[in-house]
């Protein structure tokens, strides 16, 4: 960390407004936010650029993409982690909850094995060496439609920085893959499955859900409590599914697939998170509800980059333009996700918060990052 950082002549994106001023960071913490009209000695002149809080990412598959850049390719993990960390820093993300699957299927048409325990240990080893640019937590994606979920969860404890546990149920014919043709196109395109392999895989998943689903869901809820983690639902589709989520104590809904589910979440005090690529593309790649539709209805609280890290800032700016309120748009990727994850020390430009900051300038309708700081240290 640098001893002091002063960013002046900036359009400061505060939680509810944008003001011209300067922000000072010392010892990694914001110590002053002022309307100063001049550029103090030793300050960086931001030339009117936007300065906002560092982005907070709650659900990204990006690390998995780095360790397996192609099906069947296992990239060296330390190199993958460092590249992933640098990529996120370069997109303005200063806090990430790295999504790792727990719950594997070692047998059948498409087998996959446990990896999260080993990968997370490598991640924490690099963190201990101060080899990472940004702040990392774990997001365990608990696949209830699996064979080994309970054993894999038992390998983690409260010391593992597990911030989020999400209940994932990818049984074909419901939730994200209500439309089996979308599921078929996805699997055949990614894993080169033929018709017989696809039908075998679907039958196996349905049998696993019937045999293990309820027990796995119960144990995942228990594990989240043991970790002290936030519990999230995933791909809720119906009112009944949202009511079950609420009964588990869930307060974060990832990617509800219908207006009905998103409305029910809001009625029950559950924060709704949608994908940034959905905002940018104007719709879901799985054929589910459009994030912009939920945003117009007031049912969208948080954005996640999901599978495109650079989408996070762009989508927040696009929502800000749609709402006519840039501060509100940026809040969906800063303060709102931080609070949903139980983090009270980041997500806003306020005295006492971490010195996680981004500087960007608009190029027509696209935000162009110019610098990123984590705890006052330049990381991009």
Q: pLDDT tens digits, residue range 67-90?
A: 999 888 999 999 999 999 999 999
Output the furthest CA–CA distance in the chain (Å, rounded): 70
Q: Residue 57: in which H helix or E strand, if any?
A: strand 55-60
Q: What is the CATH number of domain 55-345?
A: 3.20.20.140
* Structural tokens at position 22: 């300067």
Low-confidence ranges of the chain (pLDDT < 50): 1-2
Strand ranges of the sheet holding 93-102, from the earlier edge strand across to the other edge:
55-60, 93-102, 135-143, 162-168, 230-234, 252-254, 271-275, 302-304
- Residue-level pLDDT at 189: 64
SS3 breakdown of the chain: % helix, strand, coil, rounded to 5? 40, 25, 35
3 class by beta-carbon count within 10 Å (0-12 exposed, 13-18 middle, 19+ buried):
exposed
The listed CATH number (3.30.300.20, 3.40.50.300, 2.30.40.10, 1.10.600.10) that belongs to domain 1-53+347-380: 2.30.40.10
Phi and psi torsions of 263, nearest 5°: -65, -45
What pLDDT digit, counting tens, does each position of 247-259 carry?
999 999 999 999 9
H or E segment and range at residue 317: helix 311-323
| CA–CA separation, 200 and 330 (whole Å) | 44
pLDDT at 1: 44
Whole-angstrom distance, CA of residue 244 vs CA of residue 250:
9
Non-local CB neighbours of 287 within 8 Å, separated by 6+ positions? 179, 182
Domain ranges of the chain: 1-53+347-380, 55-345
Contact 380, 132 (CB under 8 A): no
CA distance 43 to 7: 6
């Amino acid at each position: 960390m640098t001893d002091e950082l002063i960013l002046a002549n900036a359009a400061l994106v505060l939680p509810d407004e944008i003001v011209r001023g300067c922000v000072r960071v010392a010892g990694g913490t914001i110590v002053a936010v002022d309307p100063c009209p001049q550029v103090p000695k030793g300050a960086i002149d931001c030339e009117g650029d936007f300065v906002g809080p560092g982005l907070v990412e709650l659900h990204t598959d990006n690390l998995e993409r780095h360790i397996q850049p192609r099906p069947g390719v296992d990239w060296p993990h330390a190199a993958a982690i460092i590249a992933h960390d640098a990529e996120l820093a370069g997109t303005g993300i200063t806090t990430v909850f790295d999504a790792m699957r727990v719950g594997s299927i070692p047998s059948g048409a498409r087998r996959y094995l446990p990896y999260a325990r080993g990968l997370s240990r490598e991640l924490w080893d690099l963190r201990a060496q101060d080899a990472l640019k940004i702040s990392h937590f774990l997001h365990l994606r608990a696949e209830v439609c699996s064979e080994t979920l309970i054993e894999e969860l038992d390998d983690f404890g409260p010391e593992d920085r597990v911030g989020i546990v999400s209940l994932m149920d990818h049984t074909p014919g419901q939730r994200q893959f209500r439309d089996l043709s979308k599921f078929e196109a996805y699997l055949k395109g990614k894993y080169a499955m033929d018709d017989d392999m696809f039908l075998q895989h679907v039958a196996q998943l349905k049998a696993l859900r019937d045999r293990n689903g309820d027990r796995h869901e119960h144990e995942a809820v228990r594990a989240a409590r043991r970790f002290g983690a936030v519990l999230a639902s995933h791909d809720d589709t119906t009112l009944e599914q949202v009511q079950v989520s609420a009964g588990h104590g869930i307060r974060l809904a990832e990617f509800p697939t219908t207006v009905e589910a998103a409305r029910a979440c809001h009625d029950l005090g559950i924060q709704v998170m949608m994908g940034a690529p959905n905002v940018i593309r104007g719709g879901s790649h799985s054929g589910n509800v459009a994030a912009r539709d939920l945003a117009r209805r007031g049912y969208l609280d948080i954005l996640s980059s999901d599978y495109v890290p650079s989408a996070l800032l762009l989508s927040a700016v696009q929502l800000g333009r749609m709402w006519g309120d840039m501060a509100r748009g940026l809040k969906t990727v800063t303060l709102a996700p931080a609070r949903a994850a139980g983090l009270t020390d980041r997500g806003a430009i306020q005295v006492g918060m971490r010195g996680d900051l981004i500087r960007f300038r608009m190029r027509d309708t696209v935000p162009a990052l110019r610098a990123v700081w984590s705890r006052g240290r330049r990381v991009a």
